Each structure stands twice: as C-alpha cells, then as structure tokens.
Amino acid sequence: MSIKPLTASEVKNARPREKDYSLHDGFGLLLYVSKAGGKSWRYRYPHPVTKRRQTYTIGRFPYFTLTEAREVREELRRMLSRGVDPSEHRNEKRAEVRAKHLQNVKSVALNWLELKMGSQLRQSTKDTIEFIVKRHIIPLIGHENINTIKAPGVIHSLGKYNDRPAIQMKIISKLNEIMNYCVNIGLISGNPLSKIKKAFAVKKDTPLAALPLEQLPAFLVWWDGHDYVAMKNSLLFQILTMVRPREAREARWAEINVQNKEWIIPAERMKTGREHVVPLSSQAMFILNEMRKHKYGEFVFYSDRKPQQAISKALRHKYFLEGPFAGVATAHGFRAMWSTLLNEEGFNPDVIEAALAHKNSDAIRGVYNRTTYFEQRKIVMQWIGDFIDSARKGIVKRSNGFKGLKVVND
C-alpha cells in the first residue's frame, strides 16, 4: 500500500490528540505528534545487519521543515545503501566531539605527567616536572582545548613570565613535550606550539651570586642570629658539605651513617643521577647532633608548618631576599665560593670536582675518581669546617696556594 506524501499545510495544522500519533510521509519518514503538542521528524528503517527496526530522530518541527526533513531522509537512505547504520554513525560522531571537548591541556598534561612519574627519571627531576605542570602550565592554559589551541594565544599567556626567563623556558619545554605526546598518541596531527620559543628573547644565564670571601665572617654572624633552627642549620650544613641547596634541604636521617661519618645521597636525589657519598666534618656532625634534638620525621631539616616535610626552597630564598646580603649571596653560590677558594688554596682540582659532585664526561674516570679521592675529600671537608670556625671569629685564613697542597699531600 502506497503512502500519500504529506503537505506543508498538513504538517503545520497537525494538532495533538489524546494519545501520541504519527503522520507518514513515505520511505520511512514520519511526523511524530505528542499529546502535549510537540512535533518531531523521525526516520524508521531496518538495521543494515540485524534487520531490526530502528528509529532515527531528525529534529523538531518547525526547526526542520518538511523539505529539510526529506533531504535528511534521503541522506540516511544513502548511508543505509552503503551498509552504515545512521544511529550508530551519529553516536560515534557525538562521542568524537565529546572526546575532543574533554581533551583540554589539563587532562592530557596529567596523563603525560602520570607516564613521567612512572619512568626511570630521578626523583628530583620528577618533582620539578610535576611542579612545572601543576603550578604553572595547568593554571595558565589548562582550560584550552588541545585541538584548537593556537601559538599566539599561548605566547600571550606566557608573557607574564617575561621577567622570569628561566621558568618561562621550562614551561615552554614541558608544553612541547606534552603536545608531542598528543601527536604520538593520535590526538592531534601536529604540534602548533613547536616554535613558540622563538617568540621570546634569548637571555644569557647569569651566574648566581657567590658571597665574596671577605664578607663570610659577617654573613655567618648574621645567619647564626636566626631563630629558626632547621632553617639556619640547613644552610650551614649545605655550606659545610658543598652540596646543592636541594640536596641539603631534603636530607633524610636514613641517609646519614653516623658511625662512618658519611652522608650517602641516593642517585635519584642527585643532579648527576648517581649516588654521592659525602664525608662529614666534625662541624657537620655537630649540626646533625643538634638537629637530632629536634627530630620530627624523616627529614633532617623540617618545615616549621609541616614537620613531616622538608624546608621549602621558597622560604629559604626569602631569607636571602629580605636580609642584608640580598643580591650578594645565594644558597647555590656557596659552591662557587668553595670552588674558587679551594683551587686558589692549591687543592687537587679533581678532588674539588669530586666533592662538588660534578658529572665527568668520562664515565669510567668518574667512577675511579669517586673511589680514589674519597680519603682526600675527608681532608677537604674538615679543612672547610675549620675554615668556617675561623671565619666565625673574624679570621679568613689564606695560604696563597700552599696550605691546600700540604694538607692533601700529608
């Protein structure tokens, strides 16, 4: 039985009844009229595989006119002729759109971060990556859709870091790693941020301020006057051991061998990625004994607000910024101070490099140096401890290059 096609006036004048009903236009198209008065176009068809009856909702009238509904019907019929189910096809498209909407920088950055946290990177590197992602990238552009993000917008957002070029470059580096990750897993076809680094002026690195040796006595008097025991001793311990600021701030009691007077820093906490054993002078041991009286948890130098955490970099940095030595001294600068002094005093340069835990380009020679120079480094560390004691008394002992040679060769 053939179905008479609907007319525009029949569609327009269709009124609600006690029950929902349908007006058929032919070839599966019908106007569904609800008892509430709503009108919508539907298309009924057999599934191309299962042959089960399916219903595809085209849209509401009058947003879809009779002519427009027929055009959609014909497109759906063409899909069926190719073996494609219209409802399944639409659901897939909606899922794709929904997935793209959810693919913002925050979500993919956290997925990428999870992979990094499970990698073989040393813990300090992981902590830095996590800090960059969670404290900078996500707050800055976490809401941006990964499919529509553009270089100009990101460059504009990064402008807030123009006065902090070092952190700006780190953000750019990690952003590119995240975007390349998106390319590799098929979320996007290309990285639109690959060249944003060129939009920022390259600024030369300036050495961190190293305290002039003649100001060391005054600095020690000022620093010894601080009341915050953990803060004060963390820097003194760093100065006495020649390690990097973070390595000292995050020192754990489990790393200290009291009997052998050694501090064994595991590879994952070292910038070089290899274990570093530090001989401890009597002055360094004194600091550890003092901190043991205030022991709270695993960290030797604990946070005043959260004793189960190590002292923060920001807090210790603040002490320098607000003190009389702001711009004159930095925590990291003491390593440069010792390097200069020890070389001038005639100590073996290889022993100094081993004490500073600098990475040797010759891996075999580097391993050899760590074992051969350990006894000599004990002498160097005690020499440093005694030098600090003299400086506290206002005496800066210099030997014009002969003292160090004599001590190391004895």
Q: How far apart are CA 127 and CA 104, in angstroms?
A: 23
Q: Of the listed 17, 98, 368, 398, which one is catalytic? A: 368
Edge to edge, the sheet with strand 256-257 lists: 256-257, 262-265, 276-279
* Residue of 73, 106, 335, 377 marked active site: 335
Q: Which of 332, 370, 378, 403 is catalytic?
A: 332
Active-site residue identified among 100, 116, 358, 403: 358
Catalytic residue, chosen from 244, 249, 269, 377, is: 244
CB of 316 closer than 8 Å to CB of 235: yes
> Is 60 one of the annotated active-site residues of the chain?
no
Q: What is the residue whose two structure tokens read 């529509």?
A: 148
Distances (CA, A) of 282 to 199, 276, 279, 382: 52, 19, 10, 7
Pairwise CA distance, residues 182 & 1, whole Å: 56
Q: Is 226 one of the catalytic residues?
A: no
> Is residue 368 annotated as part of the catalytic site, yes or no?
yes
How far apart are the C-alpha atoms of 384 and 238, rounded to whole Å? 12
Cα distance between residue 231 and residue 245, in whole Å = 12
Q: 118: how many CB neighbours lie within 10 A of its CB?
A: 9
Are residues 211 and 179 in contact, defined by beta-carbon separation less than 8 angstroms?
no
101 belongs to the catalytic site: no
Given the residues 24, 197, 252, 271, select the one marked as catalytic.
271
244 as an active site residue: the answer is yes
Dihedral over alpha carbons 138, 117, 128, 352 (to 10 degrees) = -170
The candidate with the shortest Cα–Cα distance to 380, out of 266, 257, 285, 280, is 280
Mark whether 358 is an active-site residue. Answer: yes
Q: Tokens 């440069």 map to which residue?
A: 336
Give the catalytic positions in this structure.
244, 271, 332, 335, 358, 368
